[in-house]
Structure 1
Amino acid sequence: MIRIRLSTPADGDRAVEIWRAAVDATHHFLTPEDRIAIEEEVKGFLPLAPLWLAVDAGDRPLAFMLLDGSSMEALFVDPVHRGQGVGKALVEHAIALHGAITTEVNEQNDQAVGFYKRIGFVPTGRSEHDGQGRPYPLIHLRFQPQN
C-alpha cells in the first residue's frame, strides 16, 4: 500500500538517494561533469525542500515530488519501485490538490516523456536548455482533468 505524506528533515538523505538512483537509471545523456555538478546542487537543496513522499507500509520513502503551487518541479521514483504506480500516485495527489498542473521533463529522458503522456499530459512547448542553462532540452507539459 502506498501512502502520500509530506517530508520531514529526517527524510533528506533518503530523498537524495532516490534522486541519485533515478538519475543514474534515466539520465544517461548528462555529461559526467554536469552529473556531478547537479548532484552537488541537489544535495544542498533537496533535504530541506518541502517534498511530497510516496512511502511504503513501513514509512520508507519510495519516491518524491516537489510542487510549487500547481507546478510539479520534480518527480523522482526509486528505480526499484518503477512501474508499480508510485509515480502515478504522486501525480494523482498533485492533481487532487490543484486540478490543472504543469511540469517540465528532459526531452532526452524517453521513459519520463512516455510516462507523462500515458497519464494524460500534453506538450505545450519546448526549451533548448534546462533551468540552469545547460544544453538539455525540456518539454513543457500540462495536465488538465477531463470534464
Structure 2
Amino acid sequence: MIERLESPAPAELDALTALWEGSVRATHDFLAPEDIAFFRRMVREEALSGVEELYVIRDSENRFAAFAGIEAGNLEMLFVAPGKRGKGLGRELVEYLVAHRGVRRVDVNEQNAQATGFYARMGFRVVSRSDTDPSGRPYPILHLSL
C-alpha cells in the first residue's frame, strides 16, 4: 500500500537514508565512495525533506521497502530496498504517481542502465541530456518525459 509520508520524523529520515544508501550501492556502481558520502548527507539533510511530496511502501514488518519523492510533476527520487528489488514496488510507485499526482518527467544517471531500462519500460523517453549532474559532478543525466 502506498502511503504519503508528511513531515518525516528524524528516525524515519534515518531509515529512508539507509534505504537510499543500500539501493545506491546496489545500482550505482559508477559512483565513487566519496560521492556516496557526499550524496548521503544531501539526501538526509536536504532532499528528503525538500520534496513537495514523499511516498513510501512499507513491508510486512512496517519497515520502508521503497520510496519516491516528487516536485512539480517531476519524479525527483525513486529507491527500492535491495532485498525488495524486482517485486514491482518501483513500478507500483511510478504508476501511482503518474496516474494520481501528475508525474510526467524524471532525470536519471546515464550510467545507471537498470534505471534507464526501467523508465523506458514505463514509457519514459529521453528528451535531453546534461554532461554533469546538478552538483557539477561528471555523471551525465538523461532527462526523460512521458
Of 46-55 and 16-25, more deviation after overlay is shown by 46-55
Q: In structure 2, what is the equivalent of residue 116 of structure 1?
A: 119
Q: TM-score scaled to structure 1, two decimals? A: 0.88
2:35 aligns with 34
- SS of the residue corresponding to residue 140 of structure 1 reads strand
- How far off is 1:48 after superposition? 3.1
- Shift, 1:100, TM fit: 5.1
Partner of 1:5: 3
CA distance in 2, matches of 1:74, 1:100: 12
Distance 1:135 1:118, change over 3 A: same
User: How many residues in Structure 1 have an aligned counterpart in Structure 2?
Assistant: 141
**In structure 2, distance between residues paired with 1:31 and 1:94:** 31
Unaligned 5+ runs, structure 2: none
RMSD: 1.6
The residue that corresponds to 1:103 in the other structure is 106
Identity over aligned pairs, percent: 40
Shift of 1:14: 1.4
Runs of 4 or more consecutive aligned structure 1 residues displaced over 4 Å after TM superposition: none
Name structure 1 gaps, 5 residues minimum: none
